[in-house]
Chain A
Amino acid sequence: MKRLQIGIESAKLANGLDVVVAPDTTAPVVTVAVYYKIGFRLEPQGRSGFAHLFEHMMFQGSANAPKMQHIKLVNSSGGMLNGSTSYDVTNYYEAVPSNALERILWLEADRMRALKVDAENLRNQRDVVKEEVRVNVMNQPYGGFPWLDMPPVAFRNWANAHNFYGDFADLDAADLADVQAFFKTYYVPNNAVLLILGDVKPEEGMTLAKKHFGDIPAGAPPPFADPTEPEQTEERRGTVEEKFGTLPAIAVGYVLPKRRTADWCAVALLDQALHGGRAGRIHRELVQEKQIAVEAGGGIDDLFGYNGPSQMTTRIIHKPEYSSQATLEAFDALIREVQQNGVSSDEVEQLKVKWRSDYYATLEGGRGGYMPKYGLMHLLACFTLFDHDPQLVNTILDGFLAVTREEIQAVANKYLRNEKRAIVFRTPVKASAPSDKKEAA
């Protein structure tokens, strides 16, 4: 078995900024990212969607690089850029030919040091974000299902339960003072990690990082709202109307163990057993064998990147001749099966080989065919911000490869419990006429 070893250098600057450099000369390309430890969960109440709106504002101008210049400078250096907001982190990243490395570090440092935006920029991006929400959610069949539908049903703490894309009224209420306060609180070097991956020498990366980021003053340690959930003791259910699609859909989410606890690796392999593509039990049973579902899949979203309450969520779009009840019963039957009989030793070996293969793909892989090293970047950032240990990228695989079939069965019984789950029914307004109702065998 050939193991992959990633060379990594890391350091913490005097202002608290973590720097991680991972050299690789496969291509004359360097990927630069800054991750801030702030996501949807921690945005202020009354300002739902603000963490994401703010992410857009980070492209609107900084002290020495006004509006349009961030995008222009990256593209005209031969590179691509983007940013994204998730539950616990927000990232900004660029992949550029390596001769543009210093320019990109200068740009990221400029916007970490001082954001310079005006009311017109905010109006503009508020409009853009509303169209983003429309194109991804409000004007799409099954838009936001289940990533936006599930939290308000599953969780009780506002941090975990609110609308992450934002209610339009909250987006409208956001003003420049909110933008600057959020920036000042969370966008400080001691709440961030800088990553430089690819065609760079370790000492070159570290020297340039110090040169451009070293004099950005540290801020007060940011306050973190407590995302703890009260203990869930009963199954939770909710219904959301589907405006465009004509097939009924169900999402079932089970609360996950905390990341990097003893059960975490076993749950990840259980997830693979259930949701691992066409060989996974959920697709095999519901789509191929019982033929109840048109689509069935899902699983743990971003195993390495969550740092608060999260779920393993199955997403099922089913044929109209099966009732929601019958579909859920078929799903429950396959959960009971794994609880009662576990997985065979042959299956667990298959799961581990696939896990290793997928892990390598993550380390190498880009994002949607662009942005080289996106996967490695994301893992290094999360291991640095949450675990203070970027070297985990080379060792974490061992924990998954050591999981036993007994452990998989044990976590199936411990976590896949009705009183620990939430169910969302997405119900079409214009339902397809069922040919004839069937109950699942």
Chain B
Amino acid sequence: MATRVVEVAVGVPALAPERPVTWPKRTRARLSNGLEVILAEAHSIPKFHGELFFRSGNAAAVLRAPGLAEMTAIVARTGTAKRVSRQIEEDLRRIGADLSSSAGADTSGISFSGLSEFAEPLLGLVNELAREAAFPPAEFERERRQKLEEVKMQRTEPDFLAGERLRKVLFGAHPYAQVAPSEAQVAAYKREDLQAVYREFYTPENALLLLVGDFDSNEMLKTAENVFSKWIGKKPETPAVPAPANPRGRRVYLVHVPGAVQTQILAGCHAITRKHPDWVKLGLTNSLYGGAFNSRLVMNIREDKGYTYSPRSSVNALRQNGYFSVSAAVRNEVVAASLTEIFYEMDKLRSLPVPEAELADTQNYLSGVFSMGLATQEGLLSQLSVVALNELPDDYLETYRQRVRALTSQDVLATARKYLDSSNMQIVVVGDCSQIEAQAALFGQLDIYDAQGARLS
């Protein structure tokens, strides 16, 4: 193949001076019942967004059953002491609201949005769901059956299978290893178990209420006090979990999907939490590597070689840990070739300083896209939640851009050497064994599983 000459654009207009970014003032308060509240005004549309977070999620309930916090969140919205499921859904529609409840590894939450004119009834419903969920037996049975079909269906999705296996490999005996329940575990869920999780996790002292949108903060705070003040409850005991072992040496895990016409690659290694002082450095390093369209990996295996449509790397934060990962769905013939490039780009960043111009481009990218969080109520809420849930400094949003710009090429080299741990990457490939086994085996000791998680060899 001919070497492509690197061409540059001609006559590109220069950037005008950067305009200041002004993040809205945050109002912080603690209601009389201990509920922490953060509000920010954003008047783009006559609506508001909110989320009631609980600082306990699936990891905190994993010893009882994987996915139990998620199941609790799902059933919690299906009935309260005052309203049956159908009433809840119609009442939401009546005030033009959307609401969802879910749980991740570290938090559970009720997320909602609606018209500002109906803020009080919407908060009232959220309060009811957080405080008086009834877990109607028939709704529980229906949702459990639903979940059973969902967990079966997940096992036919390549990206789910890859993610599930990688988490098992990276986190071993730690609760973070379990991303979804098995069918048998779902079948064994009991309504009482959900109610116990609900009683423990859904308390004001364990919660954080974030509200962003078209309202006056002082008035909204009064409304919140009126709505939530009767709700009481203590913070749950959080059992200490030992840190997971960090797997050493590169190994390969193949999940066999007969007939797959493509291979999902997902490789990863331990990284850091959101609070870690290296977080911004690793974010920048990830952007250079594969975290942006213009990144090295995307330019290499997509724009140059055409192996894949959607290669991407990311830094994934969990409360007690974190991991770096890189993914690409590639054609079956180029699994080994793609992995070679994935490691080549990692090792290159670990060995050679990034040219100054490329560093500046990437700093511009991170700095620019960060301020887009300001443009929508939902984006702002998401930025505020990251700061609050990870207990980042109050001025995190205001200082992020300058912290990105202060980093040097030496910082990137050191960060890549520390966290793009190419010799200890755990590689998962999901595809048809007959097409890819030999290619996968070139990259380390190979274990093969079926889609149900049973070891084949």
Contacts and interface: CB of A to CB of B under 8 A. Distances in A.
Interface string A5-28: 000000000000000000010111
Contacts of A66: 7-9
A71 to B, nearest CB: 5
Contacts of A291: 142, 145
B9 A123 contact: no
B341 interface: no
B390 to A, nearest CB: 18
Interface in A61-93: 64-69, 71-81
Interface stretch (B32-40, B64-72, B102-110, B255-263): B255-263
Size class of the contact patch on chain B: 35 or more
Contacts of A370: 369, 372
Contacts of A29: 371-372, 374-375
B146 A350 contact: no
A69 B7 contact: yes
Given A27-B375, A65-B9, A279 B15 contact: no
A360 B89 contact: no
Contacts of A277: 89, 93, 98
Nearest to A3: B46
Contact of A68 (B153, B299, B308): B299
Nearest to B46: A2
Contact of A353 (B20, B95, B293, B364): B95
A127 B306 contact: yes
Interface string B155-184: 011100000000000000000000000000
B42 interface: yes
Contacts, number: 247
Interface string B89-129: 11011111110000000000000011111000000000000
Contacts of A181: none
B150 A294 contact: yes
A129 interface: yes
A287 interface: yes
B10 interface: yes
Interface in B1-48: 2, 4, 6-21, 42, 44-47
A63 to B, nearest CB: 9
Contacts of B6: 68
A123 B303 CA distance: 11
Contacts of A207: none
Contact of B146 (A68, A74, A294): A294
Given A29-B371, A356-B115, A369-B378, A279 B12 contact: no
B372 A27 contact: yes
A366 B376 contact: yes
B188 to A, nearest CB: 18
Given A353-B115, A357-B115, A284 B8 contact: no
Size class of the contact patch on chain A: 35 or more
Interface stretch (A130-138, A328-336, A381-389): A130-138
Interface string A296-339: 00000000000000000000010100000000000000000000
Contacts of A95: 372, 375
Given A66-B9, A350-B90, A138 B368 contact: no
B17 A99 contact: yes
A247 B149 contact: yes
Contacts of A132: 309-310
Nearest to B96: A357
A354 B91 CA distance: 11
A287 B86 CA distance: 12
A294 B21 CA distance: 45
A364 interface: yes
B96 A131 contact: no
Interface in A217-270: 243-247
A156 interface: no
Interface string B128-143: 0000000000000010
Nearest to A101: B16
A102 B16 CA distance: 8
Given A69-B7, A99-B16, A103-B13, A357 B309 contact: no
Interface in A366-424: 366, 369-370, 372-373
Given A75-B294, A131-B329, A279-B90, A124 B303 contact: yes
Given A75-B294, A123-B306, A103 B371 contact: no
Given A288-B142, A361-B47, A26 B42 contact: yes
A68 B368 CA distance: 20
A226 B92 CA distance: 43
A279 B89 contact: yes
B130 to A, nearest CB: 19
A33 interface: no
B85 interface: yes
B322 to A, nearest CB: 20
A432 interface: yes
Contacts of A107: 12
Interface in B241-272: 257, 259-262, 264
A28 B371 contact: yes
Given A96-B368, A124-B306, A369-B379, 5 more contacts: A76-B362, A99-B19, A100-B368, A135-B309, A198-B375
20 contacts: A3-B46, A64-B11, A65-B12, A68-B7, A68-B303, A78-B369, A101-B16, A127-B331, A135-B262, A140-B157, A246-B156, A277-B89, A284-B89, A288-B85, A354-B96, A357-B96, A357-B114, A365-B376, A365-B378, A432-B152
10 A-B pairs with least C-beta separation = A78-B368, A357-B96, A127-B306, A76-B361, A372-B375, A75-B294, A66-B7, A132-B309, A279-B89, A28-B19
